[in-house]
């Protein structure tokens, strides 16, 4: 299982520091006097709402790591330590799996209506407490409060949608080949699900997986990112309050190699669902082979944003800005390459740079902030590497291009011109606030450039031509295409990629099929 171990090691929050086990219980939440005024007030509000959970969840009980080890959760905007959470491993994960497996038999036997009601109550609780999870997201992930509130609504929408979809899992009746037979097809839950989620959307990436899993009768063991566990734990607390039974939803975090190995090796875990990098996804896929698990993967992207010369400039600038700079460029569907037709390249570049200049960088708790910090120092160094590579090969920085004066992991919103296909900015996902502008001449050239990648998650086009919008959309080798729109994700539409951007779909009526197995029943001798 060496490959699985490497996969989970990459998924772990690198650089997380352990504190002595003795401090695990008494000092789990950092005293408010050690935090800035805004962070301290936010943490106090979360604590007062009863949603500041700092232990794992196994079999309905909040538990520490069995050896007492903990990991620090830090605020990327300030470097302050927010809390300490358990550094769990194989033993805790095995117990979580056992709990999920035991609960699966009772949870899956409930009627669809009963499961639906529990999920609906969970949705209601998330919405009624939306400010606290949003504050947690801003504190531990860094995104502006407005975006965090948007993610709470977005994340909750999956719980609402799949609460409704739970009652619409239909089977089939097949016309028989013989008169005394009846042929039926049932859809049944796959079983225990291991869900591994990233830090950039610490609520929505959980609900998008857990919602359909619980709806169809599966039980789940969630491993959130060690960078952002507090949001996941708050969501799990609300699930318990909603009546999701003990053991149906478990949360473990900490020693990623051990947790990953336990999930992959267990024959009781019948499915792995993962959102994260393509490299880690490949290793999880390989690690799942030994027990032939069902796998769904939402992996990295390299999204092209194509602006044709017949586009509405204002619409294209607004859409491109949203597609590129949401969450400071830290999303898998961010516009990674902005391809602009030569006829409007200068006009678009001027308008786009002006729009980027208006972005306010700062602490996400400040109302005026539209760009928060990157998640950590490693993320900043990656952006710097990409910028240095581009400028060494002839690109020119048109705006930004350096660390922000605020320090920490803040980086200036950046626009780079004269980008070519031999640069890292073109070939790989930068995952930061950097917008490369790339001119093109013809539609055919733009489609070729857009498809010149192993990734295939999201793409965007801007044009007033309806024939072109159809033609190009169908030519793009991507699972998602936005036409004259930069924000396209919704709970009612399937989300997922092609090529090396993943397997399967999340959200929509198609997403629930990822957690179901088909069973064919032949009834004979019926007279």
Q: Which two three-digit tokens encode residue 463?
A: 């044009």
Based on C-alpha coordinates, what's the Rg of the chain?
A: 24
The answer to whether the beta carbons of residues 234 and 242 sit under 8 Å apart is no
Catalytic residue among 298, 429, 443, 506: 298
- Cβ contacts of 48-53, under 8 Å, gap ≥ 24: 49/129, 49/132, 50/237, 51/129, 51/132, 51/133, 51/136, 51/234, 51/237, 51/238, 52/83, 52/136, 52/230, 52/234, 53/230, 53/233, 53/234, 53/236, 53/237
**How far, in Å, CA of 57 to CA of 34, rounded?**
27
Number of residues assigned to the chain:
527
How many angstroms separate the CA atoms of 86 and 63, rounded? 8
- DSSP summary character for residue 220: E
Which token pair is 148?
């965090």
- Taking a C-beta distance cutoff of 8 angstroms, is the pair 323, 366 a contact? no
Residue 225 dihedral angles phi and psi, to the nearest 5°: -65, 145
What angle do helix axes 443-451 and 466-475 make, rounded to 10 degrees?
30
Structure-block tokens of residue 524: 């004979």
Written as six digits, the tokens of 118 are 């529990």
For CA atoms 284, 482, 462, 499, give the dihedral sign.
Answer: positive
Q: Are 200 and 147 in contact (CB under 8 A)?
A: no
Report the distance separating Cα 484 and Cα 463, nearest Å. 7
Q: Is 298 a catalytic residue?
A: yes
CA separation, residue 371 to residues 43, 171, 204, 237, 417 (Å): 21, 47, 19, 29, 21
Which residues have a catalytic role annotated? 298
């Amino acid at each position: 299982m060496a490959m699985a171990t490497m996969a989970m090691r990459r998924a772990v929050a690198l650089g997380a520091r352990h504190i002595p086990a003795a401090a695990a219980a008494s000092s789990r939440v950092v005293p408010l006097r050690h935090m800035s005024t805004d962070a301290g007030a936010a943490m106090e509000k979360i604590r007062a709402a009863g949603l500041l959970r700092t232990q794992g969840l196994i079999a309905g009980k909040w538990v520490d790591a069995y050896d007492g080890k903990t990991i620090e959760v830090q605020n990327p905007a300030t470097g302050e330590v927010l809390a300490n959470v358990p550094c769990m491993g194989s033993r805790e994960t095995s117990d979580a799996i056992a709990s999920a497996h035991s609960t699966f038999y009772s949870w899956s036997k409930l009627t669809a209506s009963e499961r639906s009601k529990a999920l609906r109550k969970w949705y209601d609780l998330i919405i009624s407490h939306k400010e606290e999870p949003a504050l947690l997201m801003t504190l531990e992930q860094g995104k502006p409060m407005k975006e965090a509130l948007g993610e709470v609504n977005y994340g909750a929408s999956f719980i609402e949608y799949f609460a409704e979809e739970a009652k619409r899992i239909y089977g089939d009746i097949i016309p028989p080949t013989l008169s005394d037979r009846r042929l039926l097809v049932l859809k049944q839950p796959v079983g225990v699900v291991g869900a591994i989620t990233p830090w950039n959307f610490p609520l929505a990436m959980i609900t998008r997986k857990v919602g359909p899993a619980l709806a169809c009768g599966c039980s789940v063991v969630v491993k959130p990112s060690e960078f952002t566990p507090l949001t996941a734990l708050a969501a799990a607390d609300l699930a318990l309050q909603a009546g999701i039974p003990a053991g149906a939803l478990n949360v473990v975090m900490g020693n990623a190699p051990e947790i990953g190995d336990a999930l992959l090796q267990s024959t009781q875990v019948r499915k792995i669902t993962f959102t994260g990098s393509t490299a880690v996804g490949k290793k999880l896929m390989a690690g799942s082979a030994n027990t032939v698990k069902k796998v769904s993967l939402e992996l990295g992207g390299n999204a092209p944003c194509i602006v044709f010369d017949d586009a509405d400039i204002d619409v294209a600038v607004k859409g491109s800005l949203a597609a590129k700079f949401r969450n400071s460029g830290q999303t898998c569907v961010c516009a990674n390459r902005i391809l602009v037709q030569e006829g409007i390249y200068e006009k678009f570049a001027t308008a786009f740079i002006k729009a980027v200049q208006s972005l306010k960088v700062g602490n996400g708790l400040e109302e005026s902030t539209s760009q928060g910090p990157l998640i950590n120092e490693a993320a900043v160094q990656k952006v710097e590497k990409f910028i240095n590579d581009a400028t060494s090969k002839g690109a020119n920085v048109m705006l930004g291009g350096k660390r922000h004066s605020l320090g920490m992991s803040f980086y200036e919103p950046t626009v780079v011109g004269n980008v070519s296909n031999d640069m890292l900015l073109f070939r790989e996902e930068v995952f930061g606030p950097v917008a490369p502008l790339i001119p093109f001449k013809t539609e055919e050239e733009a489609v070729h450039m857009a498809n010149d990648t192993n990734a295939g998650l999201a793409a965007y086009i801007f044009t007033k031509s309806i024939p072109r919008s159809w033609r190009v959309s169908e030519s793009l080798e991507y699972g998602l295409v936005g036409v004259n729109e930069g924000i396209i994700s919704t709970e009612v539409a399937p989300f997922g990629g092609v090529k090396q951007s993943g397997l399967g779909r999340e959200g929509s009526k198609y997403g629930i099929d990822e957690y179901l197995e088909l069973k064919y029943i032949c009834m004979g001798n019926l007279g």
